[in-house]
Each structure stands twice: as structure tokens, then as C-alpha cells.
């Protein structure tokens, strides 16, 4: 879309797509995700009507999670105006020496979560792990180790598995209240119907 990295939500909502999609969408709301410590908002969050906010730390930013950052993160996530925790998780496309830091940051972040806050998980495996199996196993182990409530709402952001994968009994048992955000690759609005 060619927007600057610090585009406000209001400016983003005023953007007009060109070409206009065949089936226009009236955006009524959504989730504004703040997962970079440099762009974390002030609380209380003041968003456009119909919008809620999520605060997290993207796995690729786990190296920025110092003591002062942890304190600010906890203040943000515990504020009632923050509706969700996320994005948090693991992204194993980075050097392997950073994986342990991502896992420890995820563990700490989950311990700051309120039960009424959905968790937006970012789970991405290494370049050779097309189904992201190791990354999903690591995150499930963290969820178990911090005793996340089995009914905690979890959204798997940019899920890249298939219907058979998410419908397995194992997945339902491990995270019975998960939702999926599907990704099939980059796409742009089309003027033609499929």
C-alpha cells in the first residue's frame, strides 16, 4: 500500500484502494496490533470506534525485551483498554542462537496475560520446516509450562497449515479455543471474480 511505517490508524482507514475491489468492503472495526516496542501506544488506548487494541512483542523483536521494556509491557497488557495479547510467539526463520530468547520472551509474555484477553500467536518454522512442526511443538510446550488455561482464547495469526492439519484431534485437544488467520501467500485486490 506504500504507507509510512508510522501511519496512524485513522490515516490507514482513510486509504482508498486502487483498483477498487470488485466486492467493496465496509470496514466496521478490527484489531490494531502493536507488537514492536518502538511503536507501543500509551494507555488508555484511544482507537477509532469499533477497533480494539492488542499489545505484544513480535518474536523477531525478542532481543529488545530488556527489564525496562518488560515493565512497560506488563503495564500495557494489564491495562483494561488493551483487549488482547499479541502478537507473541516464535519465528524460527532467524538464526538458531535467537530461538531460546524468543521462547523465554513468549513464556514471560504469556504470564502477563489476563484470562479475558485473547492471545494472538505468531508461529513460524524454519525455512526447511514447511509445516512449522517444530515451532508449533515448542509453543505448545510453553503453553503447558506456564499453565495457560485450556479455555484461553487463542488466535493463530498467519496460520499456514491446511484444513486436515487444524482439524486433527491433537490440535483440538491442545488448544480447543483456537481461531485461525489463514495465509496462502501475498495477494492483492482483484477486479475479476475468481
Measured CA to CA, the distance from residue 60 to residue 77 in angstroms comes to 19
Torsions phi, psi of 74, nearest 5?
-60, -40
Is residue 173 pLDDT above 50, yes or no?
no
What is the CA angle 5-6-7, rounded to 5?
95
54-66 pLDDT, tens digit each: 999 999 999 888 8
- Model-level pTM? 0.78
Where residue 185 falls among pLDDT bands split at 50, 70, 90?
very low
102-139 pLDDT, tens digit each: 999 999 999 999 888 999 999 999 888 877 889 989 99
Enumerate domains of the chain plus CATH numbers.
Answer: 22-182 (3.20.20.140)
Is residue 148 pLDDT above 70, yes or no?
yes
Where residue 5 falls among pLDDT bands split at 50, 70, 90?
confident
Is residue 168 pLDDT above 60, yes or no?
no
Task: Find out whether the peptide bond into 135 is cis, omega within 30 degrees of 0.
Answer: no
Amino acid at each position: 500500500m506504500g504507507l509510512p511505517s508510522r501511519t496512524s490508524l485513522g490515516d490507514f482507514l482513510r486509504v482508498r484502494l486502487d483498483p477498487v475491489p470488485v466486492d467493496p468492503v465496509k470496514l466496521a472495526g478490527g484489531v490494531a496490533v502493536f507488537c514492536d516496542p518502538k511503536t507501543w501506544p500509551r494507555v488508555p488506548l484511544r482507537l477509532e470506534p469499533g477497533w480494539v487494541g492488542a499489545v505484544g512483542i513480535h518474536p523477531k523483536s525478542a532481543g529488545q525485551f530488556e527489564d525496562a521494556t518488560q515493565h512497560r509491557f506488563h503495564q500495557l497488557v494489564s491495562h483494561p483498554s488493551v483487549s488482547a495479547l499479541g502478537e507473541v510467539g516464535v519465528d524460527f526463520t532467524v538464526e538458531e542462537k535467537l530461538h531460546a530468547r524468543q521462547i523465554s520472551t513468549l513464556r514471560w509474555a504469556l504470564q502477563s496475560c489476563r484470562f479475558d484477553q485473547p492471545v494472538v500467536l505468531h508461529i513460524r518454522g524454519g525455512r526447511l520446516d514447511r509445516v512449522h512442526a517444530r515451532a508449533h511443538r515448542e509453543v505448545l510446550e510453553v503453553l503447558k509450562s506456564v499453565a495457560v488455561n485450556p479455555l484461553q482464547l487463542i488466535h493463530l495469526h498467519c496460520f499456514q497449515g491446511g484444513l486436515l492439519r487444524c482439524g486433527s484431534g491433537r490440535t483440538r485437544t491442545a488448544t480447543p479455543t483456537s481461531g485461525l488467520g489463514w495465509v496462502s501467500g501475498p495477494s492483492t485486490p482483484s477486479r475479476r471474480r475468481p
